[in-house]
Structure 1
Amino acid sequence: MGRKLTCVSPIDGSVFAERDTQDKDTTLVRIAAMRAAQKAWADRPLQERVDLVMAGVAVVGAMNDQIVPELAQMMGRPVRYGGEFGGFEERAGHMAHIAQNSLADIQVGEDEKFRRYIKRVPHGVVFVVAPWNYPYMTAINTVAPALIAGNAVMLKHATQTLLVGERMTAAFHSAGVPEEVFQNAFLDHGTTSALISENAFDFINFTGSVGGGATMERAAAGTFTGVSTELGGKDPGYVMEDADLEAAVDTLIDGAMFNSGQCCCGIERIYVHESLYDQFVAKAVEIVKGYKLGNPLDPETTLGPMANVRFAQEVRAQISEAVEVGAVAHIEAFAKDDGGAYLTPQILTNVTHEMRVMRDESFGPVVGIMKVSSDAEAIALMNDSEFGLTASLWTADIDRAAAVGDQIETGTVFMNRADYLDPGLCWTGCKNTGRGGGLSVIGYHNLTRPKSYHLKKVTN
């Protein structure tokens, strides 16, 4: 028997769920069974796999009334927001819709002598390591296209959202996806690294911290197993002088504070043209002062606790360090701020890039706002980061946004929106945000390998 994985609820610090970890040998036996079942799964017609995956998605949707309060208990998101099923279904549905074209053979040419084409074939067993902040949506980004493409999938969730993998696999099995093809796993870090280093998997998708991604890559070194990573972020917003101010403030502050700031592509720093700066800050402060911090099971709560006390303490440390060297904090402590997981959201001004709050990932309800005088200054500041996931540009001029976007080191450029994942576009990053790409046709290409056919015809 391995050690226990324990999910501590941020609501009150109580133990919400526990599961025993699986040892390496037991997991290797399970993976061998998955590998054997994968071939028969891949031989099924594509449309049959699509239909079974989408049936599993529908079963997850039918569980939503149980899932929403369960997520509140595990990671603190208020029940008023209704969970993740909208995005979960949208992403899976898009990947189902484009599967036939994305996985079609690439025809190179045929004449009286040769037939030449490239097939997309599944890797085999795909290992998906999903994070706690959006545990259903981040998992389905890879689970749906991996299964549709003919892979078997082993899913490992973060301990903070321990029960999500059980929910997902049970739903898909009840819809007809074979148990051996889609498996949930409870693994500790050491066992996970040992399995990867022994080449147990054919492809790995990891969403999490930079340190976690580095551990995955080190474990895979020399195995030639593909590792796709989405890691840290410090996503910027830039408000130009011709922006719709009301829309910019509403969207960027929501992007910074929603889910207690615990979003992969959440806004962590904002640069505002000097002509709009004072108005922007005043409106941002007004919005944040109107939030209700409290128990996420209360429908009136708009901001729940952070998922773990140590996450909240890191945000507090970044804020206090910044204030000590001159930053201005605009929000007084909320009554429900307990010094633990319940954390007052914060707007900071008079910030600089010498402060950790403008450099390190915060992943919490805090955002620094800086005044800029030109596109060149904003571009330099946006690029002054080790991360590159998304950037949000606010202007009435689409050509200007495209030109600025061309100069930003990022994976996605938004104009007049933020904090959204479009499944028709590749979800990708650069620098320390990681490598690889999910969703879109590129997601299918990453979850399969090319196999070339050069067939010479027999002629008399």
Structure 2
Amino acid sequence: MNQVVTPATGKTAIATNPATGSQFGEVAHTPEHRYASIFQQARRAQKVWAEKSFAQRSKHLRKMRNYIRDHADELARLISDSNGKTRMDALITEVLPCQLACDWYGKHAAKVLAPERRGPSSPLWIGKRSEVRHEPLGVVGIISPWNYPLSIPFGEIVMGLMAGNAIILKVAAATPLVGKAIEDIIAAGNLPHGLFNHIVGSGGQVSSAMFEHGVDKLFFTGSVPTGKQLMAQAAETLTPLSLELGGKDPMIVLKDADLERAANGAAWAGYQNAGQSCGGVERIYVHESVYDRFVSLLADRTRELRHGVPTDECDVDIGSMTTANQRRTVESQLAEAVEAGATVVAQSEGPGHGPGHFHAATLVTNVDHGMRLMQEETFGPIMPVMPFRTEDEAVELANDSPMALTASIWTRNTRHGKELANRINGGVVAINDHLYTHAMSDVPWGGPGDSGIGRTHGPEGLKEMTKAKVVNWDWLRAKRNLWWYPQDQASYAAIRSALYLVAPRTVLDFLRSAIRVLPTMIRKMYF
């Protein structure tokens, strides 16, 4: 695997381990003068790739899948060193989902994107037949974040490739060597030259180049403000976007919940990846009758967590945060909440003072929706907990956010949990679990409101990588249609009568209308 690239001259993206502060590699920025040729090569390669069958494309994906399997430890270590998450975290939330993506999309894309035959939707179109085809977009741009530097972009790459597209990738500046690792995975697939391209550079520079050189769609995962900026840029060229912008995801614990499972699930979904998961738990609402017991259990789980520098021995549960700016955001939200009356109930024991961007896993009570901690995305290992009296109150609190990516409901009554899920805003609502469906290739990922636009993953994600084309034909082989020239009073009367074919008052009304329409239609179409 090509892990370290040290250029002799020019700008570079430096890889720094956020847990230790040590630099362990750098990657040269792609020269701007090469951008035009990269896009030209991508378009040429895409035309060749689009001619391949789904079965042929899937063979390339199987080679990538096998490469991931054979280099799993190396990939997990690189991801861990790049963004601070533990080796186990990297393996289960990044490496394994990439392998699953290769497998599922390779097997199911042909069925999902097969042409759809549609018959006439009305008697007026009796001779018409249609086929809806899902054609490749062309060149797809992907701008990915640092919190899941492998699994987020790679899943989109695989979807784009199976749909017949070329790919232009820009990874986060904080994790440049993961971008190089993606290059190695793609190289193992033996794709046509120029079909996949990884551009290294500043986010604004590369995104502007994507619009300038005409990507056919841009997939972006990141912050709400940046997503809005890209949307404004895209408006200039009417470039379609898919935006996954974050979440302030609620967890609702009902009075009949299995509290031990709920506490264990909260610890995982709130503290995993040092809380830097857009689909992780950011707010917890617990029925007042079980509130104290739940808080006690979650406090125990919080204190038990091993917090420190990730190693190959897997002897820590939480690593570091990825960037100093994000750590400061978390510290600021927590400090403001405490000043406003919040109580820190429990924390994990951190590694002490050092160069890493560590923040203890922290459980907080006595919070309210006037605090930034309960309104803005925290994206860190802080879990605030509030009690509620009624389910209506819990729903109101859970929906009190412009972001609606995921949510979870914890109850022993699955049927009731499903019913309650109908009232919760969110792209994903899980029952008795949280923070795992992003790894499921067969279901869509995304949410409404400030959480973004569009979906990735699943059949819906595959179709987002295509453009629909309708092919329509007429098997009646008439000389002309009823509404073609020459127009006359008889044609007008027939069309007027046809309104009752579409919306008859009675069956007799329908038959009368048909009798009035058919003679004129036959005369006009065949004589």
The residue type paired with residue 422 of structure 2 is D
Q: CA deviation at 1:14?
A: 2.2
**Uncovered stretches (5+) of structure 1, i.e. residues with no partner:** none
**Uncovered stretches (5+) of structure 2, i.e. residues with no partner:** 1-8, 479-527
The answer to whether structure 1 residue 193 and structure 2 residue 207 are counterparts is yes
Counterpart of 1:309 (choices 320, 324, 330) is 324
Q: CA deviation at 1:79?
A: 1.9
Q: CA deviation at 1:86?
A: 1.6
Residue number in structure 2 paired with 1:353: 369
Question: Does structure 2 retain, via aligned residues, the 8 Å contact 1:2–1:22?
Answer: no
Counterpart of 1:231 (choices 245, 248, 261) is 245
Distance 1:359 1:337, change over 3 A: farther
The residue type paired with residue 352 of structure 1 is D
Residue number in structure 1 paired with 2:158: 144
- Structure 1 consecutive aligned stretches of length 4 or more whose deviation exceeds 6 Å: 110-113
Question: Does structure 1 retain, via aligned residues, the 8 Å contact 2:262–2:432?
Answer: yes
Distance 1:353 1:5, change over 3 A: same
Question: Does structure 2 retain, via aligned residues, the 8 Å contact 1:423–1:439?
Answer: yes
The answer to whether structure 1 residue 5 and structure 2 residue 23 are counterparts is no
Moved more, 24-33 or 344-353: 24-33
Counterpart of 2:42 (choices 34, 54, 67) is 34
In 2, distance between residues paired with 1:333 and 1:283?
14
Residue number in structure 2 paired with 1:85: 95
Could you give the per-residue CA deviations for residues 113-165 of structure 1, whole angstroms, max 9, x where no partner exists?
A: 66531111000000111111112211122111110110011111111211122
The answer to whether structure 1 residue 108 and structure 2 residue 118 are counterparts is yes
Report 1:176-187 matches (<5 A).
Answer: 176-187=190-201
In 2, distance between residues paired with 1:115 and 1:407?
40
RMSD across aligned C-alpha pairs, in angstroms?
A: 2.0
The answer to whether structure 1 residue 65 and structure 2 residue 80 are counterparts is no
Could you give the per-residue CA deviations for residues 328-353 of structure 1, whole angstroms, max 9, x where no partner exists?
A: 00225735243751111100000011
The residue type paired with residue 64 of structure 2 is G
In the comparison of the two structures, how many residue pairs are matched?
A: 460
Residue number in structure 1 paired with 2:523: none
In 2, distance between residues paired with 1:80 and 1:107?
46
Moved more, 345-354 or 84-93: 84-93
Residue number in structure 2 paired with 1:321: 336
The residue type paired with residue 350 of structure 1 is N
Counterpart of 2:408 (choices 379, 392, 396) is 392
Residue number in structure 1 paired with 2:452: 434
Distance 1:79 1:333, change over 3 A: closer
* 3-state DSSP of counterpart to 1:27: helix
In 1, distance between residues paired with 2:114 and 2:270?
40
Residue number in structure 2 paired with 1:381: 397
* 3-state DSSP of counterpart to 2:150: helix
The residue type paired with residue 109 of structure 2 is A
Residue number in structure 2 paired with 1:291: 305
Q: CA deviation at 1:313?
A: 1.6
Question: Does structure 2 retain, via aligned residues, the 8 Å contact 1:59–1:172?
Answer: no
Counterpart of 2:131 (choices 117, 122, 131) is 117
Moved more, 268-277 or 102-111: 102-111
In 2, distance between residues paired with 1:283 and 1:399?
26
In 2, distance between residues paired with 1:16 and 1:360?
33
In 2, distance between residues paired with 1:91 and 1:175?
14
The answer to whether structure 1 residue 413 and structure 2 residue 429 are counterparts is yes
Could you give the per-residue CA deviations for residues 181-221 of structure 1, whole angstroms, max 9, x where no partner exists?
A: 11111121232232233252001101111122112212211
* 3-state DSSP of counterpart to 1:348: strand
Q: Which has the higher strand share?
A: 1
Question: Does structure 1 retain, via aligned residues, the 8 Å contact 2:136–2:467?
Answer: yes
Q: CA deviation at 1:441?
A: 1.2
Moved more, 55-64 or 244-253: 55-64
In 2, distance between residues paired with 1:264 and 1:94?
23
Counterpart of 1:446 (choices 464, 471, 474) is 464
Distance 1:335 1:113, change over 3 A: closer
Q: CA deviation at 1:66?
A: 1.4
Distance 1:301 1:109, change over 3 A: same
Q: CA deviation at 1:20?
A: 2.5
Question: Does structure 1 retain, via aligned residues, the 8 Å contact 2:347–2:363?
Answer: no
In 2, distance between residues paired with 1:55 and 1:261?
33
Structure (1 or 2) with the larger CA radius of gyration: 2
In 2, distance between residues paired with 1:82 and 1:158?
17
Distance 1:151 1:274, change over 3 A: same
Residue number in structure 1 paired with 2:144: 130
The answer to whether structure 1 residue 169 and structure 2 residue 186 are counterparts is no
Q: Higher relative contact order at CA 8 Å, sep ≥6: structure 1 or structure 2? A: 1
The answer to whether structure 1 residue 94 and structure 2 residue 104 are counterparts is yes
Question: Does structure 2 retain, via aligned residues, the 8 Å contact 1:128–1:156?
Answer: yes
* 3-state DSSP of counterpart to 1:331: strand
In 2, distance between residues paired with 1:13 and 1:201?
36
TM-score by length of 1: 0.95
